[in-house]
Structures are given as C-alpha cells and as structure tokens.
Amino acid sequence: MRIARTLAVLSALIYLTGCASGAQMGNMVYNGPVKTYDTAVKNSVNVTNVSGGEETNPAWTSEISNEAFSGALKQSLRKQGLLSGNGRYKLEALLLEVDQPVFGLDFEVTTHVKYVLTDRDNNGAVVLNETIVAPYTATIGDAFAAIKRLRLANEGSGKANIEGLLEKLSELKIQPGDVTLEQ
C-alpha cells in the first residue's frame, strides 16, 4: 500500500512539474487558405493596439501576452493580404477574458477578444465592433504534461479567435459612405 501511494505521489509530481511558458506567437498565426475580402480592406489594416493579455509567471500557468497575440494577429493579417503599416483602417484588440481550466485531462481554453476596426478617412467611424469567443481543447494525446497541454490550448484558442476575426473581415462589404456585414 505504501509503495502504491509513493508511486501515485511521484506520478503526480512528474505530471505537474515543469515551468509554465507563455503562448507562442507562431503557434497562434492563422495559416489557412486566403479568404476573399472587400478591396477596401486589402493592404489597409493597421494593428494599433492589443491589450488585456497577461505575461506568464513560470511558477504558475501559461498565459497569452499582448506581444504574442499582437504578433500572431499581424502575421495572420499579413498572410491574408490585409496588413498595412499605416492603413486606412485601424484595428484594436482587447483580450477580455481567457477561460482556463485548473486541472483535468482535456484542457479547454476559451478566448474572448473584442475587435474594433475604425476608418481613419471617415472621422474614425466604427466599421466593425465584434467580440469573438473561440474555444479550443488540447487533449492528453497532444501533450502528457499538463503545463504544456495548457499552453497548447491557449495557442489553439488564440489561433481560432484570429480565424474568427478574419471570417468577420471577409464578410465586410464596404461601399462609399456605407459599411455593412454580408448576411
């Protein structure tokens, strides 16, 4: 009985040990097919502010930092032909919430990100104001160590969230003096 208890404790320690690392920018970049966008937004989106993220404390849990999410957002927009250094449209992203499990076998992380796209040429008119909610589950098959599984779930949810934004941007139909979302 004593040996079984010792083995259980050692297994739990091995399972939980390790230092937490933050979500990696490259793992949150959307690399899917290029979507179709209104010509008005092509090469015209400038990411001006990303906030609400958290730095990872290595002794605690993996988080999504502003810098990592901003980098992934910019890379994704670049790959879709939307990013511009000083474009007509200003994009801001606010990480409202990152729901994370405390423990378990499968870790589902859900990101809630508010995106605001404004038109510089039209007195800062709001073109898009959406909160995207995107879950992602990392299983024990993805990583045995819980600390790594949580990072993978963070990255997957961040990527899914950016994909949700790109989908919304692909639905935009911009006419002179008129902005609508395709129904």
Summarize pLDDT for 110-136 with one digit per residue, the tens.
999 999 999 999 899 999 999 999 999
pLDDT (0 to 100) of residue 137:
93
Q: What is the pTM of this model?
A: 0.82
CA distance 183 to 36: 15
Over residues 96-115, the pLDDT tens digits come to 999 888 777 888 999 999 99
Q: Which residues contact 37 (CB under 8 A, 6 or more apart)?
A: 80, 81, 82, 169, 170, 172
pLDDT of residue 180: 45
What is the arithmetic mean of pLDDT over 33-54?
Answer: 93
First to last CA, the chain: 64
Of 122, 115, 106, whose CA–CA distance to 161 is shortest?
A: 115
Burial of 28 (0-12, 13-18, 19+ CB in 10 A): buried
Q: The domain at 19-181 falls in which architecture?
A: 3-Layer(aba) Sandwich (3.40)
Pairwise pLDDT comparison (134 vs 177), residue with the higher score: 134
Which of 24, 21, 20, 116 is CA-nearest to residue 72?
24
